[in-house]
Structure 1
Amino acid sequence: MLKEFKNFIMTGNVIEFAVAVIMAGAVGLVVNGFVSDIVMPVVGHFAGGMDFANLKVVLTEAAGTEGSEGYVAENAIRWGAWVNTIVNLIIVGFVMFIIVKAYNKTKTPPAPPAPSGPSQEELLAEIRDLLKKQ
Structure 2
Amino acid sequence: MGLITEFKEFISRGNVVDLAVGVVIGAAFGKIVTALVDGIVMPAIGAFTKGVSVSDWKYVIKPAQLDSAGKEVATELAIRYGMFVQTIIDFLLIALVIFLILKAYNRVRAPAAAAAIPEEVLLLREIRDELKNKPGP
Structure 1 position 123, deviation (Å): 4.9
Q: 1:121 to 1:64 in 2, by over 3 A?
A: farther
Q: Encode CA deviations 1:42-91: one digit per residue, 9 max, x unaligned.
A: 122134333222221122333569xxxx9643221112222222222222
Q: Encode CA deviations 1:15-64: one digit per residue, 9 max, x unaligned.
A: 11111111111111111111111111112213433322222112233356
Structure 1 position 114, deviation (Å): 6.2
Q: SS of 1:48's equivalent?
A: coil
Structure 1 position 99, deviation (Å): 2.3
CA–CA distance in structure 1, aligned partners of residues 129 and 53 of structure 2 = 75
CA–CA distance in structure 1, aligned partners of residues 73 and 49 of structure 2 = 35
Q: TM-score, normalised by structure 2?
A: 0.68
In the alignment, structure 2 segments of 5+ residues that lack a partner are none
Which stretches of structure 1, 4 residues or more, deviate above 6 A after TM superposition?
Answer: none
Aligned alpha-carbon RMSD (Å): 3.2
User: Is this contact kept in 2: 1:35–1:92, CA < 8 A?
Assistant: no
In the alignment, structure 1 segments of 5+ residues that lack a partner are 129-134
% identical aligned pairs: 35
Number of matched pairs: 122
Residue type of the alignment partner of 1:3: T
CA–CA distance in structure 1, aligned partners of residues 79 and 43 of structure 2 = 23
2:60 aligns with one of 33, 58, 62: 58
Match of 1:80 in 2: 82
CA–CA distance in structure 2, aligned partners of residues 54 and 100 of structure 1 = 34
User: 2:126 aligned with 1:124, yes or no?
Assistant: no
Residue type of the alignment partner of 1:52: V
Q: TM-score, normalised by structure 1?
A: 0.69
